Amino acid sequence: MNRRSQGRDALVDQVAIVTGASSGIGAGAAVVLVARRLDRLEGVARAIAALGGRALAIPTDVTDRAAVQVMVQRTIDAFGRIDILVNNAGVMLLAPIRKREVDEWDRMVDLNVKGLLYCVAAVLPHMLEGGAGHVVNVGSVAGRRPFFGGAVYAATKFAVRALSAGLRLELAPHENIRVVDIQPGVVDTELGSHVTDQEMREGFARVWGNKKKLDAEDVAHAVAWVVTRPAHVNVNEILIRPTAQET
């Protein structure tokens, strides 16, 4: 494998784990597909195989630290290495703070922050051993500015941004492990369907009903571009909004 080569060829022989690969952004590109819904993962794996790619579905709840270890070991058993980790699994549960949806706060912190860290912890020994790696964290424009009803979600994405910066400064110069924070604006996925708060759902539908959101592929293309740069190039952040998005 020639790490200096650019474009899709640069991915030949590389092994990527993509979390949150059963729907939305994560379904655009992958090799080891991780999420909880096996039927959806198998559908993505079949689509990749139909295009000539190799994909392995490993159903995993990434908030379960032991399960993440098992998933990474299964990846090593199957492919012998891990070059890329795409930390994409995430949940956005919007509600005004005054409603004190503490269980939802827990779910967001557990997945968006702790789940991401569990994946980093599990892949890191293999990347260190291999002498290279690429950690792609899917943050959000919310990691740059909170919004009404999204205080805790934004806090988790601020955390993703802070972690990405901290990981990069330790791992890129010293261990040849690159780190990037991809920060999408509004993307047309299942993310909003988990919001239970009626006020927030209606507000979002009012603002976005007729506007063109990003497609999942728009974000997947950004990820593909990042991971195909030459080895000396570490793209640190990409902020990508739909043209119609104001803030």
Closest to ligand NDP by CB, 35 vs 122, is 35
The answer to whether 89 and 26 are in contact (CB under 8 A) is yes
- Per-residue interface string for the shown chain with ligand NDP, residues 31-50, x marking contact by CB under 6 A: ----xxx--x----------
- Contact flag: residue 61 with ligand NDP (CB under 6 A): yes
Tell me the closest approach of the beta carbon of residue 17 to ligand NDP, in angstroms. 11
Residue from 143, 153, 159, 200 carrying the catalytic annotation: 153
What residues does 181 pair with on adjacent strands?
137, 237
Tell me the closest approach of the beta carbon of residue 230 to ligand NDP, in angstroms. 26
Site for ligand NDP in 107-146 (CB under 6 A): 111, 138, 140
Closest to ligand NDP by CB, 75 vs 140, is 140
Distance separating alpha carbons of residues 201 and 154, to the nearest angstrom = 17
Site for ligand NDP in 223-242 (CB under 6 A): none
Structure tokens given for 226: 């990042």
Tell me the closest approach of the beta carbon of residue 3 to ligand NDP, in angstroms. 27
Closest CA to 106 of 148, 152, 173: 152
Closest to ligand NDP by CB, 35 vs 177, is 35
Range in contact with ligand NDP (rule: CB under 6 A) among 49-57, 90-98, 161-169, 235-243: 90-98
Distance separating alpha carbons of residues 168 and 176, to the nearest angstrom = 10
Which residue, chain included where needed, has tokens 């805790």?
Answer: 152
Distance separating alpha carbons of residues 228 and 176, to the nearest angstrom = 15
Is 118 part of the annotated catalytic residue set?
Answer: no
Range in contact with ligand NDP (rule: CB under 6 A) among 17-25, 47-55, 196-204, 229-237: 17-25
- Per-residue interface string for the shown chain with ligand NDP, residues 183-202, x marking contact by CB under 6 A: -x-xx-xxx-----------
Closest CA to 161 of 242, 238, 246: 238
The answer to whether 1 and 15 are in contact (CB under 8 A) is no
Range in contact with ligand NDP (rule: CB under 6 A) among 20-28, 123-131, 144-152, 168-176: 20-28
Structure tokens given for 197: 């708060």
Range in contact with ligand NDP (rule: CB under 6 A) among 56-64, 70-78, 204-212, 222-230: 56-64
* Binding residues for ligand NDP (CB under 6 A): 19-26, 35-37, 40, 60-63, 88-92, 111, 138, 140, 184, 186-187, 189-191
Q: Which residues are catalytic?
A: 153
